[in-house]
Structure 1
């Protein structure tokens, strides 16, 4: 069987998608490129929207942003089924009760943190929270490394160094900024908390929201290190598409 001229790939993966009670989808480089939803992803979500959750290492947007993008394509995935490393990092520091938080992030995430009651400071924090910050500067680096040297905790939204952008270009990610911090204060790595994939938190929250056990779900993503290894460690079957994999969303759609 072929799909739109595509070779007959993905038979086992199609069966897994059909049988799964929960479909966990990565965003950047998978569902969307530069926040533009890919046609194959749109088709798959349209067929299985009630079983879909998005789990993303994105730390510059909020669940409501992705829900709005999907809605523009007629796709109904509510924001309570979208789990993102940036928003979850802010939730984490709020739950931990930190009193002085240095947040290196996009301005949208700073506003979200303030709305969540997170006390943001410029200096002398008890925790440094690192996200993708397109306005990261030498001055920010200097303040952060000195805070870490002086004993502040370190919470990182994700450790990805890049993600795929438009025109097959690489977009620097949080992990690239993390490398700069750790180059200066290596000892900060020991107690570092990383929120995003391949850690279990996003997988755990998505499965809980869908009311499925890990073995009843599949994870569709493009990154073997985060989507693949993270899913396997949590007991979820991963399906890798794009990149080095010959599979595409179109191969996962039942005819």
Structure 2
């Protein structure tokens, strides 16, 4: 068993670490009970921007785990925080490809969200958006992609909540937001600015909330190119579990490595318990 040490806070990914789709992974409840018992602070930080904080709280409650909204950080929340720091919400119009988890944080910061262009009429589109934000969207349509493309071609800034090309679900691995970004980039010739992992922005925001020194903070994730690389870029240690996208074989071809590799959160739980004995 890997030896853990000097851990006071965790930044924990969710998809592929805590669950597959709506199916909790074994040991989920015991994992969180152990964190509470050991007084290890945590932020659940996911690149998936589809759900709101409260929706994630409810999802975990259905799985037998109680967390507060303040313990949830999504790339949608991180995007809203980032844009509020760099733009004037009262003067900025945003078109969003995404679900409630991408839209609600922007509205809470005071941004105006624009509608779809009416592409099936002879009317001109009207006032466009200053920024296009693209996150995971299970109701993605041609009209949404067209509206985003037209706005970006007209000069709107192009922001991606995250660039995950795939997403682990209870049915297997399917396409992630990165696939949507690739379509828009192909259509416009413009590369998006990425807010989520592996960029350090979201990790830095989570660390600010945790108020724990970086040397006592560890990121847990399942994906080398986002969770682990993001930790490396942020300058914190990382732990990769093998229940999601990346495999032990992937480690052989990677220029960067996690600090620890474990099979699943059950193994993490046992290592955390051993840390105090």
* Contact map agreement 2:17 2:264 (CA 8 A) in 1: no
Deviations 1:159-189 (Å, cap 9, x if unpaired)? 011110003x123221110000011122x21
Cα distance in 1 for partners of 2:197, 2:22 equals 19
* Contact map agreement 2:52 2:104 (CA 8 A) in 1: no
Q: What's the CA shift for 1:74?
A: 4.6
Cα distance in 1 for partners of 2:103, 2:132 equals 13
More displaced 10-residue stretch of structure 1: 73-82 or 218-227: 73-82
Match of 1:151 in 2: 155
Cα distance in 1 for partners of 2:105, 2:234 equals 29
Match of 1:179 in 2: 182
**Residues 113 and 207 of structure 1: is their aligned pair in 2 closer, same or farther, counting only changes over 3 Å?**
closer
> Aligned pair count?
238
Q: What TM-score, normalized by structure 1, do the two folds share?
A: 0.85
The reply to whether residue 61 of structure 1 matches residue 64 of structure 2 is no
Q: What TM-score, normalized by structure 2, do the two folds share?
A: 0.78
Deviations 1:25-77 (Å, cap 9, x if unpaired)? 10011112114332223322210134221110011111222223333445343
Q: Which runs of 5+ in 2 are unaligned?
A: 116-126, 249-261
Aligned Cα RMSD in Å? 2.1
Greater helix share, structure number: 1
SS of 2:113 mapped into structure 1:
coil
Match of 2:111 in 1: 118
The reply to whether residue 250 of structure 1 matches residue 266 of structure 2 is yes
* Contact map agreement 2:221 2:228 (CA 8 A) in 1: yes
* Contact map agreement 1:24 1:206 (CA 8 A) in 2: yes
Q: What's the CA shift for 1:111?
A: 4.8
